[in-house]
Chain A
Amino acid sequence: MAEEVMLIGAKGSPFTRRVETALKMKGVQYEFMEEDVSNKSPLLLKYNPVHKKIPVLLHNGKPICESLVIIEYIDETWKGTPILPEDPYERAKARFWAKFMDDKCLQPLWKSCSSQGEEQEKAKEEACELLKILDNELKDKKFFGGDTIGLADIAANFISHWFLIIQEVTGVEVSTKDKYPKLYEWIDEFVNCSIIKENLHPKEELVAVFRGRLQAATATK
Chain B
Amino acid sequence: MADEVILLDAWNSAFGMRVRVALAEKGIKYEYKEQDLGNKSPLLLKMNPIHKKVPVLIHNGKPICESAIIVQYIDEVWNDKAPLLPSDPYEKAQARFWVDYIDKKMYDVGRRVWSSKGEELEAVKKEIIQHLKLLEGELGDKPYFGGETFGFVDIGLIGFYSWFYTYETLGNFSIEAECPKLIAWAKRCMEKESVSKSLADPHKVYEFIKGIKKMLGLE
Contacts and interface: CB of A to CB of B under 8 A. Distances in A.
A195 interface: no
A50 B134 contact: yes
Q: Which of A59, A68, A92 has the most CB of B within 10 A?
A: A92
A95 B93 CA distance: 14
B50 A76 contact: no
Contacts of B69: 92, 95-96, 99
A70 B93 CA distance: 7
A25 interface: no
Contacts of A133: 50
Contact of A100 (B50, B77, B93, B97): B50
B64 A89 contact: yes
Contact of A96 (B65, B90, B93): B65
Contacts of B62: 89
Contact of B89 (A68, A77, A91, A95): A77
Contacts of B72: 91-92, 95
A131 B116 CA distance: 33
Interface residues of B, number: 22
B93 A73 contact: yes
Interface string A127-141: 000000100000000
Interface in B65-79: 65-66, 69-70, 72-73, 76-77
A96 B101 CA distance: 17
The interface residues of chain A, by DSSP majority, are classed as helix
Interface string A72-93: 1100110000000000110110
> Chain A: interface residue count, which band?
20 to 34
B92 A76 contact: yes
A73 B88 CA distance: 10
A66 interface: yes
A179 interface: no
Nearest to A57: B93
A72 B93 CA distance: 8
B97 A66 contact: yes
B52 interface: no
Contacts of B70: 92
21 contacts: A50-B134, A59-B90, A62-B90, A64-B90, A64-B93, A64-B94, A68-B100, A69-B97, A73-B89, A73-B93, A88-B77, A89-B59, A89-B73, A91-B73, A92-B69, A92-B70, A95-B69, A95-B72, A96-B64, A96-B69, A100-B50
Interface of A: 50, 59, 62, 64-66, 68-70, 72-73, 76-77, 88-89, 91-92, 95-96, 99-100, 133
Given A92-B64, A92-B72, A96-B66, 18 more contacts: A62-B90, A64-B90, A64-B94, A66-B100, A73-B89, A73-B90, A73-B93, A76-B89, A77-B89, A88-B76, A89-B59, A89-B64, A91-B73, A92-B69, A92-B73, A95-B72, A96-B65, A99-B69
